């Protein structure tokens, strides 16, 4: 049976022009490999494609040519999971604001552009392969205190039985929007994780349910952050600008207050 193949990439749906680009991508075989930038020309990119879809097109081409596809992290592709983690033209998650790499569209670029694509770089985020970095340091910080203990056997207390004022609930909700992507670390000249850790501390510190373990939480999470090799915060504010979830610097101020109070108790 004859099957016609149709290349959607080269089809102009709404008189939208496809783009030709030059990609300069960090390739690194493994953690030990020195790595380097490799140039790839790419054609037929639609403005409405997401950045990751553009990389899918490149990888299809590489596979068809018998070459190794570019390794990059992704999962939900809708700004929820925090897996995508590219440094694009020198910016974490690329040139748009308030979006993750998977939500970045190719209309942010123009025909003929050269795009540099690198992994999130930090001592505490070692490169595993190509654009994939190991962010398990964030998991270990979470394990050190980013939780509350609730007895779920027998009659669990309905959350609504504990009153929380609207202002605190909203602030806690804003802090809980952090998806743990690591853009704040990759952006910071000191590779500081303060915005991430402060969001995780704040989301509990603002709620009555988080008060029980508050002292241990902030001490343990900050201790783990230091053990992982993240740098210090010097208040440049770059993290807040590049954060796709709009996590505010006020969380860092809150965490510092929590840390001081916890240290004095100890």
Site for ligand FES, rule CB under 6 A: 74-77, 79-84, 100-102
Paired tokens of 13: 């749906």
Closest by CA to 92, choosing from 179, 177, 201, is: 179
| Cα distance between residue 128 and residue 87, in whole Å | 15
Q: Which does 247 bind (CB under 5 to 8 A by kind): ligand FES, ligand SF4, none?
A: ligand SF4
User: Toward ligand SF4, which CB reaches closer, 106 or 247?
Assistant: 247
| Cα distance between residue 135 and residue 178, in whole Å | 15
Angle among Cα 206, 211, 216 to the nearest 5 degrees reads: 115
Closest approach of Cβ 100 to ligand FES, in Å?
A: 4
Q: Which does 106 bind (CB under 5 to 8 A by kind): ligand FES, ligand SF4, none?
A: none
From the list 25, 54, 141, 179, which residue makes contact with ligand SF4 (rule: CB under 6 A)?
179
Closest approach of Cβ 220 to ligand SF4, in Å?
A: 19
Q: Which does 80 bind (CB under 5 to 8 A by kind): ligand FES, ligand SF4, none?
A: ligand FES
Q: Which does 178 bind (CB under 5 to 8 A by kind): ligand FES, ligand SF4, none?
A: ligand SF4
Q: Which does 23 bind (CB under 5 to 8 A by kind): ligand SF4, ligand FES, none?
A: none
Closest approach of Cβ 176 to ligand FES, in Å?
A: 15
Q: Are 230 and 192 in contact (CB under 8 A)?
A: yes
Paired tokens of 225: 């952050």
Contact between 231 and ligand SF4 per CB under 6 A: no
From the list 178, 206, 221, 238, which residue makes contact with ligand SF4 (rule: CB under 6 A)?
178
Half-sphere exposure for 47 (CA within 13 Å, toward CB)? 12
Query: If DSSP states are collapsed to H, E and C, what string results for 87-115?
Result: EECCEECCCCCCCCHHHCEHHHCCCCCEE
| Cα distance between residue 209 and residue 120, in whole Å | 34
Binding footprint of ligand SF4 on the chain (CB under 6 A): 178-184, 195-196, 199, 243-245, 247
């Amino acid at each position: 049976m004859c099957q016609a193949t149709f290349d959607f990439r080269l089809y102009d749906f709404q008189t939208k022009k496809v783009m030709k680009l030059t990609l300069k991508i960090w390739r690194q075989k493994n953690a030990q490999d020195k790595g380097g930038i490799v140039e790839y020309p790419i054609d037929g990119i639609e403005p409405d494609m997401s950045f990751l879809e553009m990389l899918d097109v490149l990888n299809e081409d590489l596979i068809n040519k018998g070459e190794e596809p570019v390794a990059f992290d992704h999962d939900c592709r809708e700004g929820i999971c925090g897996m995508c983690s590219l440094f694009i033209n020198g910016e974490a998650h690329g040139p748009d604001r308030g979006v993750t790499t998977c939500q970045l569209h190719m209309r942010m670029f123009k025909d003929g552009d050269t795009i540099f694509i690198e992994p999130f770089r930090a001592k505490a985020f070692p490169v595993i392969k190509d654009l994939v970095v190991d962010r398990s340091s964030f998991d270990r910080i979470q394990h050190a205190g980013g939780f509350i203990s609730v007895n779920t056997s027998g009659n669990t207390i309905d959350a609504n039985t504990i009153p929380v004022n609207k202002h605190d609930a909203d602030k806690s909700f804003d802090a809980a929007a952090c998806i743990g992507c690591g853009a704040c670390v990759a952006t910071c000249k000191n590779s500081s994780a303060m915005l991430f850790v402060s969001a995780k501390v704040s989301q509990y510190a603002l709620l009555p349910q988080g008060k029980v373990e508050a002292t241990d939480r902030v001490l343990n999470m900050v201790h783990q952050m230091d053990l992982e090799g993240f740098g210090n915060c010097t208040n440049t504010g770059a993290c807040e600008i590049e954060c796709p979830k709009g996590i505010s610097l006020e969380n860092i101020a809150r965490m510092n207050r929590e840390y001081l109070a916890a240290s004095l108790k100890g």
